[in-house]
Structure 1
């Protein structure tokens, strides 16, 4: 294989696929509306994330423009939208505090190279093995850090240098509580209430932008004594800087390598998580290794322009999908609209009050916390999953993000081995998950029964424990079907145990079936999987998801649901 073939086998952007299929005027109209909608959401968010990270708001806009354009143009998802995200706030803040802003630029450039190499080595296919409790604990921990980082502007405190670490930060803020500004807190709370109210009363309204504009108007008209972007940063430039290569030397690169690895890890994880969410909403599949390479190139370009690290943003990607975005062009246009704001209306940014941006990030932190899933896992998941959740959360908040992931993975692995020790039977030819169409795993009766299944009903079987290391394969079951059935029966009588990730994968499968008009019937659930599924909120929904005690009962139910006489004959009804 030549070098060109090697690269092409791992890097094939979705934009090329879209263009090869034919890009129509109707696609451009839909993408333009979606791109403008996402830009309206991203405009205040990009500035707020930059300020929270210890940078100026212009770098947030710059990152959203440069990296946002390239993530969509070169990524492996049709609808992914990228830019600065909340997950990077504690990392960026710590790097700037320790190595200066030029150190952040070098670390981001190195992280981009690491991501490109990771994509070429197909590391993207390995990231799906992260267990769900670890991801939940990690994101909830970052949400707490984001909230703590906003306390200074929420309370209007006059503090010059705020430490990056959680507990020292709280101590310094407490020491300066005497400079509390009630106007700042009131303005921030008003923004939070306005955003939440608009989401309930007018979900399609751009709540973030409306809140920031309203707060800016209030501060300007009434002369409220709060800090603004103009008073702290002097405004936002109306031009983009020229790209330049930072000064590199071996000693400094070695010193910044841990920071670069952390940025690369976060960018890879969050971008692939966002792509998976997008797949669930659209029914399509992303290219994980192409996504990593695209993220790497985008981060390298952002660094050359002096921008921040960037990754796929779940909130902006979901907004793009809900607004009708069809192709990567929507994300590229979102960057174009942000560029137009910088070139034509950047002076308006000077009036934005910093407490308003803090209020915006409080909402972001709350949404990012996954509080509902956190509570369900803590209340209902097996003890090993609870331990992984709490350890990852605690280490993320109080120690270090990278260490939290490392310890969480080790504990998850040991927890799995402990649970499997008394349940796994070693025998030749047994696989963790096997679809029910192979001669090696079926009895003659099962094979004959499957041959009689008429069109409209499909049957697959899961064998063995459905845990975090195997749960991702459930998502692939629908992709293995040549035709879309009316009823999809998933036999689980040979599944002795599921964990939180297994239940999450079943819930994802149920949601995908719902979007495609397929009724999912799960049959033969043993006591432990059934109990965990119900405690985790996976319950029957008539016409969408059904539980059957065994396979014959599932066939009878399928006969009723499909209305097929052949199915009734086989089921004996």
Structure 2
């Protein structure tokens, strides 16, 4: 248990925090707390719950995830990915149903961590993740059309098609003042960062647009129109549970757990790349689970690691969990002393913030790149995307995973009849003891695809950091998929930053073609790619290495 659950905060606490780092983390935490304010409110409102539930989630879950988590810089709280799920659960089962589902999901996440499933969640292929992320982004955008245009609609249907039809039927009720506020929010959110680098654009946009609406008395709806006063306190409460109905919540809970686990680990991986660290995936899952068990009893909604807020934390100097803890404290102080003013925030301003969030989530560049390249990856991407938008996220993930496995098996079957050995490499020197110490050698034995890509990348990076030259033998790599390409490219970029020379040998023609297509040959010189290992080793020995 001790090895499974080792929070970064306690590890760093034992080493001691410097005064300089505490100050830097505290300032970063305040900035992230200010950024999280409009996002927490917007995510809650879009999910069909009252705004204070978003704030409570960011405070309670944000504190627990930083205090108990396996990442140095992870910022936890409500995220856009949960909007679709929470909205559906509330609509079908009510608030009590949401609380029960979230608590169950928390126990599932703790179970994932205890069973050491943190590494397994990394095996979700990249096209599947892009597919459901892009689908969620489109659904979030569709939920904000009503408030962005100021349409007079009492209740927006949950189904995507019915939603579009309702908007079309009510387009004559458009409010031009609401459109102006929405556009102003979007413009300020995007472009204010060029002028005010330390003030989050979303916060500045909400502040200015709220002031403008109040000053000019613009006829647009605000939070108070729908939810009344925002409480400046929260209480512990236990939901009413019908034990016979617990089975109804298993599927929603599993969806929350899977999405929360995937998103939190993705966020932690992104953070690792930004700070050069390494998170503890199983500890992170357990922390996410504890946060989702505790938070609902205070009135919160599902929480996970937030990629945008985590990146903001890092960019502003956050390097330890202190930043995340300060972020939670900052939000608590805002809720206690300034929460009463939040009811004046226009709904169209929140819509503008969420439209920017949905655009940033859309990953349209990755979406476009996948469609241009692999046929199999395109099938996974489009299937997951369409099911997310038109059916629901649970079905999309289930079908996407099964489809990924089936297509992989087909690709492996297609390759089984081919001779993947490179004849030129058969008689090369196999005694690596004669190789100079500044040269390291690693052989990838098998396809570079989503299930193996991360492990290969970790080993290659580890070896590369210990050597001046790394020869990577690829004679037994029959194919690469997009996830393999992405991990391999990230690893090469990381080693280049460490001035490690990469040499490839025995690259199959189809693999080399994929490398060219995805610009890996811009990172590795073509003269550093050889058909045989013998030629690669001879060349490596001729490279002049400067040593101290």
TM-score by length of 1: 0.89
Q: Structure 2 residue aligned with 1:30, among 8, 24, 31?
A: 24
Q: Which residue of 2 aligns with 1:276?
A: 269
Alignment partner of 2:437 out of 454, 460, 466: 454
- 1:280-300 CA-to-partner distances (Å, cap 9, x unmatched) read 222222111111111010011
Q: Answer yes or no: is the 8 Å Cα contact 1:63–1:83 preserved in 2.
A: yes
Give the Cα separation in 2 of the matches to 1:553 and 1:220: 74
Q: In the comparison of the two structures, how many residue pairs are matched?
A: 544
Aligned residue in 2 for 1:391:
383
Aligned twin of 1:168: 162
The answer to whether residue 47 in structure 2 is matched with residue 65 in structure 1 is: no
Residue of structure 2 in register with 1:247 after alignment:
240
> Quick check: 1:489–1:554 contact (8 Å CA) kept in 2?
yes
Give structure 2 stretches of 5+ with no counterpart: none
| CA spacing shift, 1:554–1:373, aligned 2, 3 Å | farther
CA shift in 2, pair 1:57/1:21, >3 Å: same
Which shows bigger deviation, 472-481 or 87-96?
A: 472-481
Whether 1:336 aligns to 2:317 is no
Deviation per CA, 1:71-130: give whole Å up to 9, x if none: 111111111111000110010001111111121111111111111112111222211111
Tell me the CA shift for residue 65 of structure 1: 0.2
Alignment partners' CA distance in 2, 1:322 and 1:514: 22
Do structure 1's residue 192 and structure 2's residue 175 form an aligned pair?
no
- What residue number does 1:376 align with? 369
Distance 2:528 2:190 in 1: 37
2: distance between equivalents of 1:522 and 1:319? 37
Q: Distance in 2 between matches of 1:264 and 1:452?
A: 48
- What secondary structure does 1:8 align onto? coil
What is the match of residue 528 of structure 1?
510
> How far did 1:138 drift?
0.9
More off after superposition, 527-536 vs 305-314: 527-536
Post-superposition offset of 1:561 = 6.9
CA contact (8 A) 1:559 1:565 kept: no
Partner of 1:570 in structure 2? none
1:352 is matched with which residue? 345
Of 525-534 and 494-503, more deviation after overlay is shown by: 525-534
Any gaps of 5 or more consecutive residues in structure 1?
1-6, 433-441, 567-573
1:221 partnered with 2:215: yes
- Residue by residue over 1:204-256, the C-alpha shift from the partner in whole angstroms, topping out at 9 and shown as x without a partner, is 541111111111121111111111123332232222x1212212221232222
Change (3 A) 1:333 1:517: farther
1:476 aligned residue (441, 458, 467): 458
Verify the 8 A CA contact 2:235 2:299 in the aligned structure 1. Answer: no
Task: Give the 5 Å matches for 1:287-326.
Answer: 287-326=280-319
Distance across 2 between alignment mates of 1:269 and 1:512: 23
1:403 corresponds to which residue?
395
TM-score normalised according to structure 2 size: 0.93
SS at structure 2 position matched to 1:473: helix
Tell me which residue corresponds to 2:204.
Answer: 210
Partner SS, residue 459 of structure 1? strand
Structure 1 residue 172 displacement after superposition: 2.3
